[in-house]
Amino acid sequence: MIFVEKVVLQFGSKVLFEDVSFHLCPREKVGLVGENGTGKTTLFKVITGKTMPDAGKVTLRKGLRFGLLEQELEGGSETVLERVVLGDPYFLKVKTEMERLESDQTYHERYGDLQHEFERLGGYDREARAKIILLGLGIKPEKWDQPLDQLSGGWRMRCELSRLLLQSPDVLLLDEPSNHLDLRSVVWLESFLKSYEGSVLLISHDRRFLNSLASRIIELDRGSLSVYSGNYDDYEKQKQERAELLESQAANQGRKIAEVERFIERFRAKNTKATQVQSRIKMLEKMERVQTTQGTKTIHFRFPQPVRTGRHVLEVKKVCKSYGSLKVYQNFSINFERGWKVALVGENGAGKSTLLKLMAGALQPDEGEIKLGANVSRSYFAQHQGETLNFNDTVFQSLEESAPGLLLTAKRNILGAFLFAGDDVEKKVSVLSGGERSRLALARMLCGGNLQEPVKPRRMVTSGKKSLPVTGGGSPPSLILFDEPTNHLDMRSREHLAAVLSDYEGSLVIISHDRFFLDGFINRVWEVEGGAVKEYPGHYSDYEWAKSKEVQDVEVSSGLTREPSSSQLNRERKKKEAEERNQRYKNLKPLQTRLAKVESRLEVLMCANDALQTQLADTSIYEDDQKPRLLKALEEQVVLKAEEKTLVQEWDELTVAIEGIENAE
């Protein structure tokens, strides 16, 4: 469906892509991974034609429809429901022309064609399907009639995702689709995409999301692209195996080079060995050196360990909190004990962030009391903490503001632990990416920028494996409260943060949509719903098991379980499905075999064409005595181009045929 061939793209001195090639097949779900700044979003723009490469090309199947979810969106005056239902320009054109013909009462052949297309696009049940998707992504009916320009960026992102899912394009290009979703919406989206009939190319830092969906992983790293079969766990294993193989090859090559260099050095001065020495020198010059993989940079730090607190860390006593006429909590009480690491879950709007802010002291209750236990100090990381920084400050100034008494060496060490090294510390906050601002906000939190206790003369902060002496900034917090700290952090940084929080001996409360991240350190889940909290002890996986058990119990009590007699029907259904799969396999196998041969031949042709281009770029070929060589090269180029055109057309036809068979499932 999409064929990316030898794409090159450079911005100034930075090479973003160098001979990048891959193809996306029908109904394939592919994860696109890599460090922040490697060009994942830019690759989407190249595929969709928004950015033109310096070299190479992108071939799309004829008539291909794609939907692109971008990170930056603008609002408009249209309502949420209008944007989702009428946001497809082609559907809107069909609908508008049908309505015009109806008003003019000119019912002719054109109207019949339009009506058929309207039905094909699901026009009559489009609004109903839109509402199902909106609900699945956590957008409740009270928001459907709100204008987009009155919504936050996160809600607009959900609306745009709903619009794309309703359109059902052939290819979905999704850039961090789960970033602004709550956990329930992430689970719903995962289920939706699993059964999606089109192809999906997905940028995500959510390991469980990628593990559940991806059948291939594409990695962008320092301008090059590598393809791995399987999900994210498979990718990590294969990458490690490749790295070990390269290390072994590099070691063998190093030994061989050393042996050749010793021979050259030993016999360089002997005339009888001159030919052999020169031969080995040329061999070394032509030898392509094995490049081993370079380590991936990640944030590397530890939270300082706090003083031991009393058993009761925090008590919420008969709290009431309302926003206008909306009552979020009414006479609500709950206790939080030492050592608890709690994940707050629930739908958007259930009151998770409100409860977290009340516990953090960032929000005062209308009635009731929030009481801290003995020796308890708090630190709060807000969801958009990175956006609250002073954009006129440099990175260094921003950190200095959080702990003015910090030693210069300690400041630079901590910034280095959060990947701000060299000239990066002099960057203005205004030019930082979302991920960089999140890292800076975490560094400020580590230095005590949000601590509410009096300043003490000296403490110790650890960064990596070193203990850094720190003056000023207060004592380490014994209660940390996080609201979506992983937004904009890459996979490695998330994993390190989870390890840090697992090692942290204090108490914490966290809101996050990343299930794998949560599973690494929490020991209980609080489900917030209807102004109340239901507690589930254990990891996030234990919570999921408990919720599924609750659903099963409800089905049993409601008589929704299958009757024993259904087992026979189930066996017959499975037998029929197996027969259908076998038939599809018989139909697909020759097409897939031929497609693989076509793709292989196309790669050979592209390499041959590159070689001819190199010949034709050599000015010597245009001299009079080189005319036969020039004519031969031009003839070969014509033949290659003709064969390439034929094969590209066949590749297009084969992918359409394969997609047709697979869509019939």
Give the model's pLDDT for residue 456: 33
Query: Looking at the DSSP assignment, which residues form a beta bridge with residue 79?
Result: 147
Give the model's pLDDT for residue 101: 82
Query: Does pLDDT of 455 surpass 60?
Result: no
Give the model's pLDDT for residue 623: 78
DSSP annotation of 428 reads: B
Give the model's pLDDT for residue 495: 84
Pick the more confident residue, 511 or 306: 511
Please compute the mean of the pLDDT values over residues 459-483 and round it to a whole number: 55
pLDDT in tens, 570-623: 556 555 665 666 676 677 778 878 887 887 788 788 778 878 878 877 778 877
Please compute the mean of the pLDDT values over residues 150-165 and round it to a whole number: 86
CA gap 59, 1 in Å, rounded: 8
Give the model's pLDDT for residue 473: 44
Backbone angles phi, psi at 317, to 5 degrees: -115, 115
Nearest in space to 482 (alpha carbons), one of 362, 566, 402: 362
Please compute the mean of the pLDDT values over residues 616-645 and round it to a whole number: 82
Give the model's pLDDT for residue 574: 55
Give the best-scoring range by mean pLDDT among 432-446, 495-509, 542-556.
Answer: 495-509
Contact predicate 18/43, CB 8 Å: no
Query: Does pLDDT of 522 surpass 80?
Result: yes
Give the model's pLDDT for residue 558: 64
CA gap 520, 512 in Å, rounded: 12
Residues in the chain: 665
Instruction: Tell me the two tokens of residue 116.
Output: 């058929």
Q: Which residues of 583-593 are buried (b: 16+ CB within 10 A; e: fewer)?
A: eeeebeeebee
Band of pLDDT at residue 199, cut at 50, 70 and 90? very high
Query: Does pLDDT of 507 surpass 90?
Result: yes
CA gap 306, 377 in Å, rounded: 9
Give the model's pLDDT for residue 465: 38
CA gap 270, 253 in Å, rounded: 26
pLDDT in tens, 338-364: 999 999 998 878 889 999 999 999 899
Please compute the mean of the pLDDT values over residues 564-573 and round it to a whole number: 53
pLDDT in tens, 64-80: 888 898 766 666 788 99
Give the model's pLDDT for residue 179: 80
Query: Does pLDDT of 469 surpass 80?
Result: no
Give the model's pLDDT for residue 31: 94
In the sheet that holds 532-537, the strands lie side by side as: 378-381, 479-483, 507-511, 341-345, 524-529, 532-537
Query: What angle, rounded to 10 degrees, do the helices at 408-417 and 395-402 form?
Result: 110
Give the model's pLDDT for residue 295: 57
Band of pLDDT at residue 470, cut at 50, 70 and 90? very low
Give the best-scoring range by mean pLDDT among 369-383, 429-443, 550-564, 579-593.
Answer: 369-383
Give the model's pLDDT for residue 61: 87
Give the model's pLDDT for residue 293: 63
Check: pTM over 0.75? Answer yes or no. no
Give the best-scoring range by mean pLDDT among 225-229, 411-415, 462-466, 627-631.
Answer: 225-229
User: Position of tokens 């000239």?
Assistant: 423
Q: Collapse the DSSP code of 453 into the 3-class scheme (helix H, G, I; strand E, B; otherwise coil) and give the result.
A: coil
**Cβ neighbours for 443, distance < 8 A, ≥ 6 positions apart:** 301, 399, 402, 414, 415, 417, 418, 420
Query: What angle, rounded to 10 degrees, do the helices at 434-446 and 491-503 form?
Result: 20
Instruction: Tell me the two tokens of residue 163.
Output: 């619009």
How many CA atoms are closer than 13 Å to the CA of 456, on its beta-carbon side? 14
Which residue type, as a one-letter code, is found at position 528? V
**Cβ neighbours for 93, distance < 8 A, ≥ 6 positions apart:** none
Band of pLDDT at residue 471, cut at 50, 70 and 90? very low
Q: How much of the chain exceeds pLDDT 70, in percent?
A: 87
CA gap 503, 300 in Å, rounded: 13
Please compute the mean of the pLDDT values over residues 457-464 and round it to a whole number: 34
Concatenated DSSP letters of 579-634? HHHHHHHHHHHHHHHHHHHHHHHHHHHHHHHHHHHHHHH-GGGGSGGGHHHHHHHH
Give the model's pLDDT for residue 421: 79
Backbone angles phi, psi at 16, to 5 degrees: -85, -45
Band of pLDDT at residue 649, cut at 50, 70 and 90? confident
Q: How much of the chain exceeds pLDDT 90, in percent?
A: 22
DSSP annotation of 505 reads: -
Q: Is 472 left (phi over 0), alpha (psi -120 to 50) or beta?
A: left
Give the best-scoring range by mean pLDDT among 372-386, 545-559, 568-582.
Answer: 372-386
Please compute the mean of the pLDDT values over residues 169-196 and round it to a whole number: 89
Give the best-scoring range by mean pLDDT among 94-108, 156-170, 630-644.
Answer: 156-170
Pick the more confident residue, 153 or 453: 153
**Cβ neighbours for 638, distance < 8 A, ≥ 6 positions apart:** none
Nearest in space to 69 (alpha carbons), one of 174, 209, 153: 174
Contact predicate 612/556, CB 8 Å: no
Pick the more confident residue, 47 or 459: 47
How many CA atoms are closer than 13 Å to the CA of 447, on its beta-carbon side? 30
Give the model's pLDDT for residue 575: 59
Please compute the mean of the pLDDT values over residues 483-496 and round it to a whole number: 82
Instruction: Tell me the two tokens of residue 260.
Output: 């050749």
Instruction: Tell me the two tokens of residue 575.
Output: 């037998």
**Averaged pLDDT of the chain:** 81
**Cβ neighbours for 136, distance < 8 A, ≥ 6 positions apart:** 185, 188, 189, 192
In the sheet that holds 224-229, the strands lie side by side as: 66-69, 171-175, 199-203, 29-33, 216-221, 224-229
Query: Does pLDDT of 255 surpass 70?
Result: yes
Q: Mean pLDDT check: name the lowest of 101-110, 301-310, 507-516.
A: 101-110
Query: Does pLDDT of 272 surpass 80?
Result: no
Band of pLDDT at residue 408, cut at 50, 70 and 90? confident
Pick the more confident residue, 254 or 301: 254
CA gap 515, 212 in Å, rounded: 12
Contact predicate 194/213, CB 8 Å: yes
Cα angle: 573, vertex 577, 580; to 5 degrees: 140
